[in-house]
Amino acid sequence: MTRRRIKAMKRIFFFLMALIFFSISTFATLQFFSAKPPIGTLEQTHLQIGVAVDAEAEKYATELVQTARTLLEQAYTELKLQNERLFFLRDYQKTIRLASEASAKANEAIENTSEKRNSLHSSLKKALRETDNKINHFQTYYAHLPLNGNARKNFTSAKLKYVESKKAYERGAYLFVDKNLTEANHLISKSVTAAHQHLSEYFSDLKKWKRWYEETVDWTIKNKSTAIIVDKFAHKCYIYKNGKRQKEFVAELGPNWIGTKLYRGDKATPEGKYHVTKKKSGSQTKYYKALLINYPNDDDKSRYKSNIKNRNIPNRGIGNLIEIHGGGGKGINWTDGCVALSNEDMDKVFALAGSGTPITIVGSLLSLQEINGH
Amino acid sequence: MKNNLLKVAFAFAIAAMMFTSCAKAPEVEVTDAKAAIEAAKATEADRYVPADFKSMQDSLNVAMLEIENQNAKFALFRNYKKATATLTGVTAMAETVKTNAATRKEEVKNEAQQALAEVTALVNEVKELLTKAPKGKEGKEALEAIKGDVVLVESFLAEVSTLINNGDYLTAVDKVKAASEKATSLKTELEEAIAKTSKRR
């Protein structure tokens, strides 16, 4: 190999070295200044979507979470696209924009969820309280009434759904509670409506009852004497003396106490102005002590005749032997139409009443509105 | 001179080797990890062990970002070891999550079934009490009403069974608790009525 050739080779070598050095320097410079993938932004977006999912935004802001996810996927696709390009041609602006939009949507979903949850939390709390009040109201005023089977069935279903809703509310399942409580309210409303319908006819005699009541109280003033008034709806037996209420006792009635007595065996307690015809005690009665009343009175007889004539009732006779007697305190309406008191209370009533003492039995002394408190 | 030529050739060979032997993205591991997560989801892991499931998904996300981070680098400098390790970890974790989900699911199922069995027994007690309750004119109406309520509680329990069969254990537990409250109140009502009757006798 000649010297000249060696020199040429050296030149080529140095040229190549310079070229490599230049290439590496250029590459390093370009690499240094080239766009970097927005890993932090994407991580942040993932976290944000994760927070939204944890907050149950998938249930409360479904579309927003879905949009956030779609935008994040698009950001990934764009990232991959850019990574496939030459490094100095890469531009991650679109990726950053998409990721930021996804984050914004996730944030919006979190806020919406929080708002909806807070709003549901308080509105459902209120709704639960209202439903509880409705149930208690029905329980107090209607549950003891001889209502039809559906009214009771709807009431029990409403109560079951209410309790179920309360449990679901405690574990934060607000959307379920919202739906279930609506059903419970619908059922309780149906029960109340049925009870109202049932009672509206019953209360149509309110004016008459109030008149009887006033006449009886007036009688005690005029005669400076004692009278007994039975309020069937309140299940109360009152003793009036000289126009003033002296005592009150809990009264139990026949199971079909809504409505007046129409015929023998209807298990209804009569409504009307009566008086004591006989005081019974000892072996005269099986119910401790009893005050026999003059049922049927003239009004009862005339109603019975008219009903028989119009074939409104079975021809079983009008019935008799209606009394205020002891043996009560059972907490249910169990008599065949009589008014039952506890033996202790019967002692007091028995002591105050005599033969001829007026006994007025009314459906109610208060209107349904007054009873319901509005 | 000969030596110099050899050195140049060697340098080129090294460079060529470096270019041809650059790291490959762990595609198989990604596919495996994603499949493992899907399999875990199929066992409702996201519902029964949500924290574990989320942690697994987060790890996958971290690995995917790491892969893209490496992809953005010059081929010679790419290193997928970290991503590969995370992905392998996700695949392994998925198995644990699946097992945990199955265990938790079984626990909740047992809880719901046990509660259902308890309330069913309670309803049977109520039915038994119904046979002992006073049947005379004193209790007939009340008994009819209670019987109606028992039917409702039973239909409620039938809904619980359906929910358990459908795997909706949390709703089933709420429902069974409501039925339990009602059955307990019916039992108390009957016991009181029976006690009153015994007292009178």
- What tokens does A125 get? 């709390």
- Identify whether the C-beta of residue A148 lies closer than 8 Å to the C-beta of residue A198: yes
- What tokens does A272 get? 């009307």
Interface of B with A in 68-97 (CB under 8 A): 68-69, 71-72, 74
Q: Do B177 and A164 touch (CB under 8 A)?
A: yes
CB atoms within 10 A of CB A185: 19
Give the residue-averaged pLDDT of A146-175. 88
Question: Quick check: A271 pLDDT over 90?
Answer: yes
Question: Quick check: A372 pLDDT over 90?
Answer: no
Among A153, A168, A171, beta carbon nearest to B148: A153
DSSP H/E element including B65: helix B50-71
Question: Quick check: B145 pLDDT over 60?
Answer: yes
How far lies A306's CA from each of A243, A262, A264, A303, A313, in Å? 35, 11, 15, 5, 10
Give the residue-averaged pLDDT of A215-222. 96
Say which range, A92-96, A149-153, B176-180, has the weakest mean pLDDT: A149-153
Mutate one of A132, A160, A177 to test the B interface: name it (highest B CB count within 10 A). Answer: A160
| Cα distance between residue B153 and residue B181, in whole Å | 10
- B57 contact residues in A (CB cutoff 8 A): 50
Strand partners, A279: A291
| Cα distance between residue A350 and residue A353, in whole Å | 5
Enumerate long-range contacts of A1-10, CB under 8 Å, 24 or more apart: A1/B1, A6/B1, A9/B1, A9/B4, A9/B5, A10/B4
Lateral strand order in the sheet of A358-362? A244-250, A236-241, A226-231, A358-362, A272-281, A289-293, A323-325, A339-340
| Cα distance between residue A119 and residue A114, in whole Å | 8
Question: Quick check: B178 pLDDT over 60?
Answer: yes
| Cα distance between residue B127 and residue B146, in whole Å | 10
Choice between A226 and A200, residue whose per-residue pLDDT is larger: A226
Give the residue-averaged pLDDT of A184-195. 89
- A157 contact residues in B (CB cutoff 8 A): 152
The rounded Cα A366 to chain-centroid distance in angstroms is 27
For residue B21, what pLDDT is reported? 54
Question: Quick check: B140 pLDDT over 60?
Answer: yes
Closest CA to A76 of B69, B171, B8: B69
Q: Is A14 on the interface with B (CB under 8 A)?
A: no
Rg of the Cα trace of chain A? 43
The rounded Cα A307 to chain-centroid distance in angstroms is 42
| Cα distance between residue A199 and residue A136, in whole Å | 18
- What tokens does A1 get? 């190999």
Question: Quick check: B138 pLDDT over 60?
Answer: no
- Identify whether the C-beta of residue A322 lies closer than 8 Å to the C-beta of residue A276: no
Question: Quick check: B1 pLDDT over 60?
Answer: no
For residue B136, what pLDDT is reported? 61
For residue A332, what pLDDT is reported? 79
- What tokens does B110 get? 């047992």
The C-alpha of A37 sits at a distance from chain B's nearest C-alpha, in angstroms, of: 6
How far lies A116's CA from each of A48, A112, A168, A182, in Å? 18, 6, 17, 17
For residue A202, what pLDDT is reported? 86
- What share of chain A in percent tops pLDDT 90? 71
Q: How confident is the prediction for chain B on average, in pLDDT? A: 85
- Helix, strand, coil share of chain B (percent; to 5): 85, 0, 15
Helix (H, G, I), strand (E, B) or coil at A332: coil
| pLDDT tier, A60 (very low <50, low <70, confident <90, very high otherwise) | very high
The C-alpha of B99 sits at a distance from chain A's nearest C-alpha, in angstroms, of: 22
Among B69, B145, B174, beta carbon nearest to A37: B69
pLDDT digits (tens, 9 = 90+) for A314-365: 999 999 999 999 999 887 788 999 999 999 999 999 999 999 999 999 999 9
Please report, in angstroms and rounded to a whole number, the separation of the first and last CA atoms in chain B: 129
For residue A145, what pLDDT is reported? 77
- B170 contact residues in A (CB cutoff 8 A): 171, 173
- Identify whether the C-beta of residue A244 lies closer than 8 Å to the C-beta of residue A226: no
The rounded Cα B145 to chain-centroid distance in angstroms is 40
Q: Half-sphere exposure (CA, 13 Å, Cβ side) for A203?
A: 16
For residue B201, what pLDDT is reported? 42
Interface of B with A in 40-59 (CB under 8 A): 54, 57-58
For residue B109, what pLDDT is reported? 87
Contacts of A343 (CB under 8 A, 6+ apart): A288, A289, A326, A327, A328, A329
Q: Is the pTM of this model over 0.90?
A: no
Strands A358-362 vs A272-281: parallel, antiparallel or unpaired? antiparallel
Give the residue-averaged pLDDT of A34-43. 89
- Identify whether the C-beta of residue A364 lies closer than 8 Å to the C-beta of residue A351: no
DSSP-assigned states of every residue in A18-87:
HHHHHHHHHHHHHHHHSPPP-HHHHHHHHHHHHHHHHTTHHHHSHHHHHHHHHHHHHHHHHHHHHHHS-G
Give the residue-averaged pLDDT of A183-202. 87
Give the residue-averaged pLDDT of A98-126. 95
Q: Do B74 and A54 touch (CB under 8 A)?
A: no
Q: Is A8 on the interface with B (CB under 8 A)?
A: no
Interface of A with B in 52-111 (CB under 8 A): 53-54, 76, 79-80, 82-83, 87, 90
pLDDT digits (tens, 9 = 90+) for A242-267: 999 999 999 999 888 888 899 999 98
**Residue A239, φ and ψ in degrees, nearest 5:** -110, 125
| pLDDT tier, B139 (very low <50, low <70, confident <90, very high otherwise) | low
Q: How confident is the prediction for chain A on average, in pLDDT? A: 91
- Identify whether the C-beta of residue B87 lies closer than 8 Å to the C-beta of residue B60: yes
In this prediction, the answer to ipTM > 0.90 reads: no
Closest CA to A299 of A261, A325, A330: A261
Burial of B141 (0-12, 13-18, 19+ CB in 10 A): middle
Give the residue-averaged pLDDT of A37-54. 92
| pLDDT tier, B2 (very low <50, low <70, confident <90, very high otherwise) | low
CB atoms within 10 A of CB A29: 11
Longest dimension (CA), chain B: 129
Q: Do B178 and A90 touch (CB under 8 A)?
A: no
DSSP-assigned states of every residue in A186-204:
HHHHHHHHHHHHHHHHHGG
Give the residue-averaged pLDDT of B177-188. 92
Give the residue-averaged pLDDT of A31-38. 83
pLDDT digits (tens, 9 = 90+) for B26-77: 999 999 999 999 999 998 898 889 899 999 999 999 999 999 889 888 888 8
| Cα distance between residue B142 and residue B95, in whole Å | 57
Say which range, A22-26, A117-121, A226-230, B91-95, has the weakest mean pLDDT: A22-26
